[in-house]
Amino acid sequence: DGGITQSPKYLFRKEGQNVTLSCEQNLNHDAMYWYRQDPGQGLRLIYYSQIVNDFQKGDIAEGYSVSREKKESFPLTVTSAQKNPTAFYLCASSIGQGETQYFGPGTRLLVL
């Protein structure tokens, strides 16, 4: 089955710790995205990548980093510089920028 997978479903982070959220797609999509969802707010774009080895900051990139070494994978690292990391993180992909985005199941990050 083609789709987007995110792991883990739940992730706990200790203060000062970096954590990496996984996002994999087998849809052969060029574009991939990371969003953050907080209660009572719309999704906000963290980073996006239009093509392998290229990525751009979104609206709330501070405290996050990404890589796009393979077309299928777009991991997101939440660094210790992100002071309020508790949120629901969604990964998405599309054939190209401007096309319909397909979303993964999400990862819920909690700070201990």
Binding stretches for another protein (CB under 8 A): 40-45, 88, 90, 92, 97-98, 100-106, 108
Q: Which is nearer to another protein, 45 or 61 (CB)?
A: 45
Residues 27 and 73: beta-carbon distance below 8 Å: no
Shortest Å distance, C-beta 98 to another protein: 5
Query: Is the bond into 8 cis (omega within 30 degrees of 0)?
Result: yes
Shortest Å distance, C-beta 103 to another protein: 4
CA dihedral 61, 4, 12, 20 (to 10 degrees): -50
Shortest Å distance, C-beta 80 to another protein: 25
